[in-house]
Amino acid sequence: MSTIDTQSLLLQMRSLAAQAQAQAIEPVGAAPQGVEAGQKPDNFAQLLSHSIEAVNQQQGMAKTQREAFERGEAGVELSEVMLQAQKASLAFQAMTQVRNKLVEAYKEVTQMPI
């Protein structure tokens, strides 16, 4: 089995969360439970929840722009729609990879002898 560097994984997740916060994202829904807008998460569960919400917001923005382009609204360019779709896709792929690493880490920990 491969060893998992939890510090590196945590740093990557914090980096993704910081990038998501730095972008000017219009909220699609309410902030995750226990995390107010602009507030840093206090624990891992809040960080994970906040990251998932940021990915959800990216996907919501991509859907909104795509639908606006399909309706032919003025000011919505195809390049912007495609760029937002790629951002949402990349964020989802990164979240999936983090989830896979967490599952691997959980399996490794549960298989450790006591």
Domain ranges of the chain: 42-114
Which pTM was predicted? 0.60
What phi, psi does 86 have (nearest 5°)?
-70, -40
At CA 34, angle to CA 105 and CA 59, rounded to 5? Answer: 70
pLDDT digits (tens, 9 = 90+) for 56-100: 999 999 999 999 999 999 888 999 999 999 999 999 999 999 999
Cα gap 77→39, rounded to integer Å = 33
- CA 39, distance to chain mean position in Å, is 16
Asked if residue 34 has pLDDT above 90, the reply is: no
Asked if residue 48 has pLDDT above 50, the reply is: yes
Sequence-separated (6 or more) residues with CB below 8 Å from residue 86 = none
Cβ proximity of 51 and 95 under 8 Å? yes
Residue 42 binned pLDDT confidence (cut-offs 50, 70, 90) = confident
Cβ burial 57-92 (10 Å sphere, 16+ → b, else e): bbbbbbeebbeeeeeeeeebeeeebeebbeebeebe
